[in-house]
């Protein structure tokens, strides 16, 4: 298992450049992991446990530096605004006419502007994406609660005491698995743990990353 924890740290400090740089490093780590495994046997899942309040502000010209200023001017002050900003965080400017052209936005530690002043930026509340490839990746589609993810991974890997994948079990097909696993996770079976498959040879002897 790998993680990009410094993405979170950078966002809490409203350091967007550092957060995006760490995101690019995480992407490289995922690419390396995918090259090292056999996707016929290995389920790879990439996701996040929450979002942040960083926003991409629009109306800049194509090809503009996303870490810089928009080409449009603020209608009230006549000054350019940053393409990236935060709803909360330490980057609040008390001067509504702050001229961002005077800031060193090329610095890795530049603190991007925020609407509400806070010592640390908060998490966001929107849904986050889940990307999956490999056996049983089809389980990670649609909208679902975050606590579904570990159950789906355990199901695919045949680990734990919960519902498990097996070609000879009642949830053998992808279609049945998608129906029965969410029902089990969200308690539509009265909260009872379903019995383990009777057969000893289960078709899920692959690793999970």
User: Which amino acids are annotated as binding site for Zn(2+), given as ranges?
Assistant: 8, 12, 49-50, 123
Binding-site residues = 8, 12, 49-50, 123
Q: What single-letter DSSP state applies at residue 187? A: T
Percent composition of the chain: helix, strand, coil (DSSP 3-state, to 5): 25, 15, 55
Q: What gap in Å lies between CA 88 and CA 86, rounded to an integer?
A: 5
DSSP string, 75-139: TTT--EEESEEEEEETTB-S-TT--GGGS-TTSTT----EEEE-SSPPEE-S---EEEESTTGGG
Q: What single-letter DSSP state applies at residue 69? A: E
């Amino acid at each position: 298992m790998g993680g990009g924890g410094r993405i979170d740290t950078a966002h809490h400090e409203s350091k967007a450049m550092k957060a995006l740089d760490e995101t690019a490093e995480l992407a490289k780590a995922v690419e390396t992991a995918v090259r090292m495994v056999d996707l016929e046997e290995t389920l790879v899942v990439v996701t996040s446990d929450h979002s942040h309040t960083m926003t991409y502000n629009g109306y800049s010209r194509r090809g503009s530096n996303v870490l810089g200023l928009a080409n449009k001017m603020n209608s009230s002050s006549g000054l350019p605004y940053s393409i990236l900003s935060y709803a909360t965080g330490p980057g609040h400017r008390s001067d509504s006419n702050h001229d961002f052209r005077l800031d060193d936005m090329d610095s890795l530690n530049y603190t991007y502007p925020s609407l509400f002043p806070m010592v640390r930026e908060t998490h966001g509340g929107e849904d986050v994406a889940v990307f999956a490839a490999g056996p049983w990746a089809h389980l990670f589609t649609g909208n679902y609660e975050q606590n579904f993810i570990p159950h789906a991974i355990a199901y695919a890997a045949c680990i734990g005491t919960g519902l498990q994948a097996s070609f000879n079990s009642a949830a053998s097909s992808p279609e049945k698995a998608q129906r029965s696993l969410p029902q089990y996770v969200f308690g539509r079976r009265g909260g009872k743990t379903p019995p383990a498959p009777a057969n000893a040879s289960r078709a899920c002897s692959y690793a999970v990353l």
